[in-house]
Amino acid sequence: MLTLVDQLAEWLAPGAPPFAVATVVGASGSVPRPVGTAMAVRADGAVIGSLSGGCVEGAVHAAALDAIAVGECHRESFGWSDDDAFAVGLTCGGSLEVHVQPVRPGDDGDPAAVALARLAAGGGAPAALVRRLDVARPTAVVLGDLSGPGAPEPACGPDNSDRRELSGPGASEPARGPDNSLRGLVDDGALPAVSAQVAAVLRAGGAATVHAAPGVADGACDDGAPEEPVTLLVETRLAPPRFVVVGANDFAGALVRAVHLLGYHVTLVDAREVFAAPRRFPQADEVVVDWPDRYLAGEAAAGRLDSRTAVAVLTHDVKFDVPTLRLALGLPLAYVGAMGSRRSHAQRLQALRDEGVPPDRLARLRSPIGLDLGAVTPEEVAVSVVAELVAVRYGRDAAVPLSRTDGPLHAAPDPTLGTAPSATPSTTPSKERSRWT
């Protein structure tokens, strides 16, 4: 649901028709979209988003219209059909569990509508949405700021749903976990374990389901329903990951354009003002004129670089390359690459050794940057770099074509680790893993 917030602003206006949001809450096998993927269907049939690339959309659309008509949540399951591969199901061989929740725009008694409206009003700020997926008693718990302070005690809505603010750790380690905000949603005995799971998802980003023991704490809303295991869906919206391109040249321009398509916040930095002109890099989110190592040091000190950040050094100039790489390799970044020939790479490595950079840090440097695609032009080199970036993100062995691998095609990141499991390639898989969200 959270992935659609920005697109649902118009649908959330008071007096707008009701709609339903279908969210993937369970996925196994080879499935095209991960947990947290959502599709919204309005009462007039309009659609936003997609769940599977086409194979179950028709059935989900019908289920959403049913939820709107009945006014209740329900769960749908889709999987492979041995009898008829073209029946409603995932012909790719996986299975999906989809939670369908109706939303009544402008209704203060509808926790989902309130949560979505508040998140939409917050624009692209870091946020999280936690929903209790009980069919009989849907619950929406909203977090507006991942780094903000705790909020007031929960209040029960007219439909026995809990609504509250959830404080969470975001990208940095929290002063306290979300225990207080989760109190009342799960049994007190299960609270520490559930809180730790929720905190792990908030740290890593993405979405995941968290399972809690039966029961609710004293003082929680109670509609008299029998106690059953509780499942929480935790969805997060962190600020976009950062990609820092060092060096203002044609290769940098092509890389900025390519990385921008992946949703990164792209910064281009170069100490030479005549080359680092914003008009030359219109798709960069920011163009900075500064010595690259000084800029990176300042960003790191301010806490604006994290384990999702990537840095590509394209300057071909030792006075820029070596200080920047020495600093970048000492930070817990996801990806550090440098452009240059094999001779340039060998010279850089020796210079970094002379500067005291230890072997374990040098091993993190991806140089010459990119995959061996035979790339020549700036655009082709950008493709090779982005391909390597995606492979590192999901822990894949990028040297192995899909046609020569076994296992799932789509790597779903583990929100408790920030990494994605690799497929089972026919050759030795990459040993390097990085924390990504």
pLDDT, tens digit (0-9, with 9 covering 90-100), for 311-355: 999 998 889 999 999 999 999 999 999 998 888 889 999 999 999
Q: Per the confidence metrics, is the pTM higher than 0.75? A: no
Residues 23, 210: Cα–Cα separation, whole Å: 15
Q: What is the Cα–Cα distance from 424 to 97, expressed in whole angstroms? A: 25
Question: Tell me, what amino acid is at 318?
Answer: V
Side-chain half-sphere exposure of 389, counting CA atoms within 13 A: 27
| Dihedral angle computed from the Cα positions of residues 343, 348, 350 and 351, in that order, rounded to the nearest 10 degrees | 140
Given a cut of 70, the residues of the chain with pLDDT beneath it are: 28-33, 52-55, 79-94, 135-139, 144-181, 184, 213-229, 399-437
Q: Measured between alpha carbons, how far is 21 from 426 in angstroms, rounded to an integer?
A: 40
Looking at residue 326, what DSSP letter applies? H
Contact between 89 and 80 under an 8 Å Cβ cutoff? The reply is yes
In angstroms, the CA 240 to CA 347 distance is: 34
- The amino acid that residue 370 corresponds to is G
Residue recorded with tokens 């390359």: 321
| Predicted pLDDT at 327 | 96
What is the per-residue pLDDT for 278? 94
| Residues 389, 267, 199: CA angle, nearest 5 degrees | 65
Nearest to 248 by CA among 289, 199, 304, 299: 289
CA distance 83 to 46: 32
> 49 Cβ partners below 8 Å, 6+ apart?
3, 4, 7, 37, 38, 39, 40
391/385 Cα distance (integer angstroms): 10
pLDDT (0 to 100) of residue 52: 66
pLDDT of residue 136: 66
3-state secondary structure of 332: coil
> What confidence score (pLDDT) does residue 400 get?
65
